[in-house]
A and B are shown apart, each in its own frame.
Chain A
């Protein structure tokens, strides 16, 4: 069961407002191919604005799959989206790194990420037990040409991990390169048959899309590969200041984008996404660690269920610029809400700082621990005669102890969740050990993981072909 705020009547009101917007105000699609698809299916257009009637929209939504599988090069790593378990994927799109300094583990600075960082993060995404996918654009690597960086990143993800990878949304060529590299990895026939990646297509609030995103979308749809169509509206700026208004507005633009995918290629998997939130009125910056975003996560998930669509939202989100207490509690507000509300796909499940602007190795590790914790919480616990254990309770009686009972001994290794990073030794041990902070432990942990990492096997021919492809398209 999921945490819910909106009543059925309230969802209906939001829906009705969105339908009115689609019919009367329209959504902007600055791409000829997209406009043509709408026209062919009888949608009214005026220049680049597309208008949809409720019946047209709802009919288009009927072909969206409720669930789909993204295949990895290792079938054990396949992920199911919309199957009832959230998919966790690393943070996406951060221009900066914030890292702990060598000499002062809690002294933190900001620097530009390199391709070596990206490779490290790809290795860590592979090693971290709760990340289900290898990310894309975890940081924006400097030192490689901007127009071809996506090729280097795709290569890195594919080679350092056999988890399914996220694709590039850099226009038509980014999408095409992703599919061509995927074809080298899987064979083109396979890629045409089954989802092997997923790409993040952002809308452009209010009520529109960019040409570049539409090109990428249309290319993925041609290959019938899944796309997440997501809004990042800023309440008070690119959306109404009231959250109900943001929901009404963004649902219109998102549903129009989803309709496009289905009209172009019915049955293409799509995910209904949102990370919309408020602008902090004092700093003028996006506020992603506040209660408003948590409310939006909940509301968006409810809207997704209303339309029968898989959802994307949330993650371990914070406005803090270093992995301190604020980063911890804001990220947990976001992440726990995300899983409590039944979100299906979770980008930014680990690693983000500073309102999406920075990635942190230490936070990557700490957030992954959090992912394990919330997963365990959501599993609940069993109430059966064996777990109720009346005979054991009666046997131990008043004032007794359970430590040496068979019932306890049999279960003591498996019953409880064990942290990988966090230390549970006592106050005295912590004092004696130099009062180590969580960040220091996280730093130790990612260094261990990188040392232990081995690239999962990939045949040399494939590797060479991928390298050749990258070189060819980088010049």
Chain B
């Protein structure tokens, strides 16, 4: 196992960042444009001015203490339940892409059928621990109903635990109603008992939240369902151009959001999250494939550890618009850093292109393989008498060969990681095979996976009830 995390901040650095955030919270405040949220803060003696909330260090730190260091998200198939914060990263698909990029047409608008395909693939891909949500935005259903279809697809095509809707209070409530049907429990028994989903709440940098996100945050907190509170700051634009300033500033808004969850329902699981990065100063665009993005990932892990909270950041992130060499190296730089830093929860672990704007079927498959690789890397090298194998080395001696040793034969099928689509053929074989590239192999693979896919069994009554709920609200 990795014995240490990639860390760049000293304990003094982290303290400076924390102290600055406390100053910001006490003197500058965070904007919560929702009367209910303001009322909750006021009820707990927090100073407010209009929709601006000012928090003391004491108030924030006691909230941080009530949030758990680790929690489980339950799946309808208990074998698929995931634990967040136990030292193993949880990988989930890309989130929020408005477009698809495919090798034939380039950029195109996703359909609901695409969404369903991606849900099937998320189920089939071995390294995806959860079903995504909003993997793409389906363009052929009315926008205000899309969330129902997406939730439905996630619940029906897979028995992995799913991510919930954050389309306001209604999106969160509908998620829990569908979860109640899926788990065969009534609402009351689910509330506060078991975590069955997680909502990804984005802050509105700098130093605020949108009303819609607050509605979802509060509803999930009422149900005591996990909330991932995440900042997506653009250094130089919505945040200071300096990484330290960006971290200090967003830390304030994240802690404020986390505090709200704990005031509503102490012990609600939360994840401390960020996908903040630099703005490219030439183009004005977000740069998620940058080394600065990777540095932020390491910092988020460190800061979350400081507060004893699970962290979310990173993923297979790239600014490339197709699954080419650059998409490979940028995605790996970020994904490896994510794992090396000890990040607990990884949205965008597979599938994203174009600085979050596009999803790719091919990249979904390629990135999933990368997830398997970095997981394997992290496990390290076993050192024991059987692996040191002194007697075998002595017997083979100088100039000998190990191929026919029983020590080798016993292990040759299991010892090493095997790629599913990666090419390891000698160059002549590659030439004879027509010089295939990784994207072409990935395309073949997702087509195979879709052809083989079978929805995990779901009893007919539950399926009918879910269907009925979607139809009722989608009319």
Contact = CB atoms under 8 A, between A and B. Distances in A.
A319 interface: yes
A291 B427 contact: no
Contact of B241 (A25, A242, A407, A425): A407
A427 B280 CA distance: 15
A430 B426 contact: no
A108 B240 CA distance: 44
Contact of A321 (B24, B389, B430): B430
Given A320-B423, A333-B377, A416-B287, A383 B240 contact: no
Interface stretch (B35-43, B222-230, B331-339, B464-472): B331-339
A26 B400 CA distance: 13
B14 to A, nearest CB: 8
Contact of A397 (B207, B377, B407): B207
A442 B355 CA distance: 20
A426 B333 contact: no
B329 A398 contact: no
A325 interface: yes
A88 to B, nearest CB: 15
B306 to A, nearest CB: 13
B239 interface: yes
A25 B106 contact: no
Given A291-B374, A332-B329, A340-B340, A412 B389 contact: no
B397 A435 contact: no
Interface stretch (A34-42, A307-315, A372-380, A466-474): A372-380
A244 B384 CA distance: 8
Contacts of A25: 393-394, 397-398
A393 B331 CA distance: 31
Contact of A336 (B8, B23, B336, B430): B336
Interface residues of B, number: 130
Contacts of A120: none
Given A25-B394, A26-B398, A374-B333, A244 B206 contact: no
Q: How large is the interface on A (under 10, 10 to 19, 20 to 34, 35 or more residues)?
A: 35 or more
B237 A401 contact: yes
Contacts of B383: 6, 10, 13-14, 244
B357 interface: yes
A435 B393 contact: no
Interface string A312-337: 00000001111111111111110011
A332 B328 contact: yes
A449 B400 CA distance: 47
A319 B422 contact: yes
B448 interface: no
B1 interface: yes
A244 B417 contact: no
Contacts of A418: 282
Interface stretch (A70-78, A138-146, A170-178, A232-240): A232-240
Contacts of A244: 381-384, 387-389
A28 B398 contact: yes
A413 interface: yes
B229 to A, nearest CB: 16
A206 interface: yes
Contact of B392 (A240, A324, A398): A240
B9 interface: yes
B381 A403 contact: no
B329 A424 contact: no
A384 B244 contact: yes
Contacts of B283: 424-426
Contacts of A416: 235-236, 278, 280-281, 287, 290, 292
A236 B415 contact: yes
B325 A390 contact: no
A294 interface: yes
Interface in B1-47: 1-4, 6-10, 13, 16-17, 20, 23-24, 27-31
Contact of A390 (B23, B107, B282): B23
B411 interface: yes
Interface in A351-397: 354-355, 357-358, 363, 366, 370, 373-374, 376-377, 380-384, 386-390, 392-394, 396-397
A381 B295 contact: yes
B399 interface: yes
A415 B278 contact: yes
A336 B337 contact: yes
A54 interface: no
Interface string B412-444: 110111110011111101110001011100100
A382 B3 CA distance: 25
Contacts of A366: 325-326, 329
Interface string B104-117: 00110000000000
B452 interface: no
Contacts of B23: 390
B290 to A, nearest CB: 6
A397 B424 contact: no
A248 interface: yes
B418 A282 contact: yes
Nearest to A24: B394
A475 interface: no
A437 interface: yes
Contacts of A319: 422-424
B424 A280 contact: yes
A115 interface: no
Interface in A1-39: 1, 3-7, 10, 13-14, 17, 20-21, 24-28
Contact of B373 (A4, A49, A290, A325): A290
A208 B416 contact: no
Interface in B314-367: 319-333, 336-337, 340, 354-355, 357-358, 363, 366
Contacts of B290: 373, 416-417
A416 B396 CA distance: 53
Given A241-B407, A422-B289, A325 B397 contact: no
Nearest to A240: B389
Interface in A227-282: 235-245, 247-249, 278, 280-282
Interface centre among A25, A28, A291, A324 (most CB of B within 10 A): A324
Interface string B230-260: 0000011111111111001100000000000
A400 interface: yes
B280 to A, nearest CB: 5
Contacts of A340: 6, 340
B24 A390 contact: yes
Nearest to A107: B435
B285 interface: yes
B282 to A, nearest CB: 7
A415 B241 contact: yes
Contacts of A108: 435
Interface in A78-117: 96, 98, 106-110
Contact of A241 (B239, B384, B408): B408
Given A249-B393, A381-B295, A402-B238, A243 B324 contact: no
Interface centre among B10, B28, B31, B405 (most CB of A within 10 A): B28
B303 to A, nearest CB: 12
A183 interface: no
Contacts of B381: 5-6, 243-244, 247, 295-296, 299
Contact of A245 (B240, B358, B389): B389
Contacts of B388: 13-14, 17, 242, 244-245, 248
24 contacts: A17-B388, A237-B403, A238-B402, A242-B382, A245-B393, A281-B418, A295-B377, A332-B330, A332-B333, A340-B6, A373-B291, A377-B333, A381-B243, A382-B242, A393-B20, A394-B27, A397-B206, A411-B236, A415-B241, A416-B290, A417-B290, A424-B287, A427-B99, A431-B107
Q: Which 5 A-B pairs have the closest CB atoms?
A: A328-B328, A329-B328, A438-B326, A332-B332, A380-B8
Given A325-B327, A386-B242, A399-B31, 11 more contacts: A3-B340, A17-B390, A21-B393, A242-B415, A328-B325, A374-B333, A377-B291, A380-B8, A393-B248, A399-B207, A416-B280
